[in-house]
Amino acid sequence: MNYFHTDLPTKNPEQQRISTVIGNKADFPIDVWPLYSRDPVTDKERVLSDRHARVVVRTDTNEHLGILGPRTEPIPYARSMQATDEALEHIGLRYDSKTQVYDNGATVRRQITFPNITIEPVVGDTVCFKIDHFDSYNGKWALQLNATGERLVCLNGMTRPDYYVRAYTRHTRNAGLNIPELMNKIREGVEDFKQSNDTYQRYYNRECTWNKFEQLMLNTIAYNKEHESDEKRPAVSKMRMEQLSRCWDYNSSTLGQNCWAAYNAMTEWATHAPTRGHTHMMERKRNAEVAKVLRHPMWKNMVDEPTNLRMI
């Protein structure tokens, strides 16, 4: 059978999704419409039950944003962003934000930076507190807020093996962000971020040569275990090693041959290196790869941190 959505809006007024935040790229109306099936032999159509699937439609452009399962309910982007704003305002934090929608609105990323919350691991090298807000209507991303840091000198994201703050929820009928709980997480995250200054200073004071960095990359980011037995595809990615080599050359020339340069070479690769895929999708994937490196025994040994094998 061939499936497609109806051109009529839902009859349930409670399902109409109109956001309330003004001046936001993610502030557009959506609705949930039923799907139809067409019999290829008789050409007859019938409405599919909500138990099977529905489609999210952006009603200002009539674009289809994603298919929903029976237990999934879209949370309007603006609603979750408004909850985050309320939490930040209750705490009394000054912040700047930038919102970008992708795939015609099917996915969204909001970057919230805090210019008054900074650390300086190295003189002149300032890092500010940052929250990344991800969400989607097509199921690619759950609603989540991940807080790390952003290096102001080059706008590299500061990947960590874990996040200072993480709020996560799936799109279900009763899902949403609990503002008091989010406020507590943000407060704790700010304190953890400030304490990370000591970690980054230790990185700066630990020596790292190109040979050490190269061996680390050959065993982590540049290595694909699935290609070990593939004669056509080498296990080590030449393209990735070339990208990482350029990132190392730049960062070691400005920061010195130390683990702080190695760390920033990895985050630069995750944030800025060219990619064949969608940049916003690949950046998240690469940040996850860097986070895995930061849990690897080789890196732990380089920066003099205890190794927890269960975290790898």
**What are the pLDDT tens digits along the chain (312 aa)?**
333 434 333 333 333 333 233 346 888 999 998 888 887 888 888 877 777 788 999 999 999 999 888 778 888 999 889 999 999 999 999 999 999 999 899 999 999 999 999 999 998 899 999 998 999 998 888 888 888 888 887 666 666 655 545 666 666 555 667 889 889 889 988 998 999 999 999 999 999 999 999 999 999 999 887 666 666 777 889 999 999 999 999 999 999 999 999 999 999 998 887 766 667 778 888 988 999 999 999 999 999 998 765 444
Q: Look up residue 70 and give its two tokens.
A: 């029976």
In contact, 171 and 108? CB cutoff 8 Å: no
> For the CA atoms of the chain, what is the radius of gyration?
23
In contact, 133 and 145? CB cutoff 8 Å: yes
Whole-structure pTM value: 0.79
Whole-Å CA distances, 253 to 66, 210, 262, 295: 46, 11, 11, 26
Residue 61 β-bridge partners: none
- Strand (E) or helix (H) holding 77: helix 77-91
Q: How confident is the model at residue 151, as a pLDDT? A: 85
Q: How confident is the model at residue 16, as a pLDDT? A: 33
Q: How confident is the model at residue 263, as a pLDDT? A: 95
In contact, 204 and 281? CB cutoff 8 Å: no
At residue 285, what are phi and psi to the nearest 5 degrees? Answer: -65, -45
Q: How confident is the model at residue 216, as a pLDDT? A: 97
Q: How confident is the model at residue 2, as a pLDDT? A: 36
Whole-Å CA distances, 45 to 12, 35, 55: 22, 10, 17
Q: How confident is the model at residue 40, as a pLDDT? A: 81
CA distance 243 to 138: 31
Please tell me the number of Cα atoms within 13 Å of 14 on its side-chain side. Answer: 2
Nearest to 191 by CA among 147, 222, 160, 224: 147
Q: How confident is the model at residue 18, as a pLDDT? A: 30
